[in-house]
Amino acid sequence: MDRLLPKALRLGDTIGLVSPSSPSPDLQRIEKAVAYLERLGYRVMPARHFNTHAENRCDLDRQKIQDLHDMFSNNTVRAIFCLRGGSGSSRLLKALDYDIIARNPKILAGYSDITALSLAIYAKTGMVTFSGPMLATELHSPTPFTEENFWKILTSPGKHHEIAAHPDHPMTLFTPGTALGTLLAGNLTVLDGLVGTPFMPSMRESLLLVEDINEEPYRVDRLLAHLDNAYLLDHVSGLLYGQFRRDPLHPDEGGPLLDILEFYARKIKPGSPCAAGFSYGHTDLLLTLPVGAHCRYSVTDKGISISTMAPVTT
């Protein structure tokens, strides 16, 4: 399957807004995010059912699917930004018309629960998507680090990108080295739920990057064990762990979690690069990652970086 690159964003373009996962009760954040996009010089078009609530889950899912089809089909929409994560996007995968998406490749941005859409779209169409900031979680008031990386990667066709971790995120080095492959980045829990389905991309020669939030170490162990038992870790060319954030009421047991991450670092091919602490996940210092793009991992005692040619075209 050929890799599909969406067109880069330009000032004056229209950005469509969708809510494939949970709705957001914080209308002020949404208003601030819309104002932020318009202030930068973009037009904004909310989907017909954007941020709506419905008691009937079947009706709600039909609305979400229609919104996605409408946004991909609309020739005036250049990019599609997601509202937030939460839950629900995995329920949409069987009903999506992937031919519509393949005929109209465009930027799709979101992470967390949006991982299901990102991976399924890449598996079914070869289209690169962008695991990064969302309206109600970051774009209402993005940090300079998050903002700079996000717009640079969405608006710079033909350029080489070096995506480096923030210095405030300490790295734990397991295996130094470099590797080339297809970047598959996302939330570990959501990614794990796609294993064994036709919506999971091939892990062969992939660069895997996973993050999670509010998961006890024993659950992270179980999720990674599932990937290992499915023989998926055998195929990756490199493994990076992003941020594994915990609720302040249940502080991270750094030692046990790091022990678990290191254990599975030894499950990938010997010599393949692996480290923990990359600036990706549920954090204010969030990098945007091109899911499905051909990338290079570099892991040294000085830090972690991902390099790629522009995942957008003119």
Check 138, 211, 215, 298 and give the catalytic one.
211
Check 49, 161, 169, 282 and give the catalytic one.
282
State yes or no: is 24 an active-site residue. no
- Dist. CA 314–CA 311, nearest whole Å: 10
State yes or no: is 211 an active-site residue. yes
Check 21, 89, 90, 112 and give the catalytic one.
112
- Dist. CA 177–CA 273, nearest whole Å: 5
State yes or no: is 90 an active-site residue. no
Q: What residue has token string 């480290």?
A: 275
Positions annotated as catalytic residues are: 112, 211, 282
